[in-house]
Structure formats: C-alpha cells, structure tokens
Amino acid sequence: MTSLPPDLDPQKIPQHVAVIMDGNGRWATSRGLPRIAGHRQGARTLKELLRCCKNWGIKALTAYAFSTENWQRPIEEVDFLMLLFERMLRRELAQMHQEGVRISLIGDLSALPSSLQTEMEHSMTETLNNQAIHFTVAVNYGSRKEITTACRQIAQLVQQGKLSPEAINESLVEKHLYTADTPAPDLMIRTSAEMRLSNFLLWQMAYTEMYFTDILWPDFDADAFHQALLSYQKRDRRFGQVKTFFSA
C-alpha cells in the first residue's frame, strides 16, 4: 500500500511508532522450519513496515531487534541474528539512504561483533542528515541498563562539580538516554499475543498507546498495520489530564 488508506485520518497519524517484533520462532516452527527462517522473514517484514511508515507519513519507527537478555539464546541463533543485522545494513544501506532514511542503532553496541559495530557506525554517519523517516533499531538494548547508565553519567557530572543536583530534571535525564534526539513513541505495537514491555523504552513510553495483536511478527503486513492505526486513531490521548469540553 503506497498511499494512506482513506479510512485513516492524516491529522491523527502517529509521529513515532515502536515495535516489539515477537513470534519469529513460532512462525518458523509452525511451518517445520528452523527458528532462523522466522528471523529472516521477520527482517523482510520490518523492511516492508519501514516503507509503509514512510509512505503513510510516519516520521519515526523504532524496532526492538535484540535485548540484553537475548544473549541467553542458543549460540547459533545469536550468531545468526548478528550476521543478519550486519547483512541487512550492508545490503540495504544504499537504498535506504537514497530514500532519505536516517538510521540509528541504540543499545550497548560495544558488546557486539566488531565488524557489526563498524557497519553500524558507517550507516549512522552516512544517513545522519536524512529527513524522510528516522529508523532506529535497538540491539543489545535494555531500558533499565539505559536508565542506569544515564544516572551514572549524571552522577559523574555532579561529582566533577559540573552540575548541581538541583539542575537534575526530566529533560536532563532524557538528554542522557540513547534516544536523546527522538520524541517519545506515540504507538507501541507488540505481536504474537504477548502483552508486556520486556524492558523496552520504559522511560520513553510513559504515555505511549499500546497495541497488542495475535499475529506473529513475520505475518505483520500492511493490512495488520492498518488495523493497528485504526485502533490508535480511536484512542483518546489525555496524557494524564482531564479533557476540556468548553474553553473559558
């Protein structure tokens, strides 16, 4: 689908969508395939979703690709995922750059294979000034670790006398998160009938609308995304406030 479906209101399109891509393993197993086949298909799904977001006027997409807990998976699966990330970046970079995609990788990237780190650095530098859509992939990401790291950085500034404790506020904390230059997600989608956040963007999603679907990630196509956006557009976002019907 290239243009926005007519039943969606262009004025109420989320600016930033976050996705927890769950169900790759089950998708593959149910077809008698190895789990890695699910990840491979999942990567294609993500590519399609990115294109869909761009065509429908969404300005940012953030995908949870590998958590700090995912290292506990079988070594073959971890190795495959690392290779998949690297291959995707290498193969898709030119096209994404041409389409105006800005790529960011967030997480503790220092623990990743060095060839992958090189590819990540290159993709981020190359696409830094692109404006069409901001595509962020979380790899070796954990929200608690991100917040803890931010606290440590802020504490060091205080210890060095560069910051007073009174100057610590929410906006300062935000500046120390991996997502410093990205507005919070408006909509978070998790596939495969799991209903939890799994340590993903805990600070950033304080007021994000949540959408859960039974669909397994590799099957999450434009129609499924359309349904998620229809649900989002029915929500009444109050950000903790009371809706005012009359103005004074």
Q: Which residues are tagged catalytic?
A: 22, 70
Of the listed pieces 37-45, 98-106, 198-206, 233-241, which binds ligand FPP according to CB under 6 A?
37-45
Helix (H) or strand (E) holding 242: none
Residue 43 contacts ligand FPP per CB under 6 A = yes
> Which alpha helices (DSSP H) does 107-142 contain, by range?
114-127
Residue 26 contacts ligand FPP per CB under 6 A = yes
Of the listed pieces 5-13, 39-47, 102-110, 117-125, which binds ligand FPP according to CB under 6 A?
39-47
Of the listed pieces 82-90, 107-115, 140-148, 227-235, which binds ligand FPP according to CB under 6 A?
82-90
From first CA to last CA, the distance across the chain in angstroms is: 44
Contact predicate 1/226, CB 8 Å: yes
b or e along 193-218 (b: 16 or more beta carbons within 10 Å of the residue's beta carbon)? eeeebebbbebbbeebbbbbbebbbb
Cβ closer to ligand FPP: 91 or 237? 91
The contact pattern for ligand FPP, residues 180-209, with x = CB under 6 A and - = no contact, is ------------x-----------------
DSSP string, 150-178: HHHHHHHHHHTTSS-GGG--HHHHHHTST
SS3 content of the chain, % helix, strand, coil (to 5): 45, 15, 40
Residue 112 contacts ligand FPP per CB under 6 A = no
- Bridge partners, residue 180, by sequence: none
Cβ closer to ligand FPP: 63 or 150? 63
Q: Which residues bind ligand FPP (CB under 6 A)?
A: 21-26, 39, 42-43, 46, 63, 65, 70, 84-85, 88, 137, 192, 217
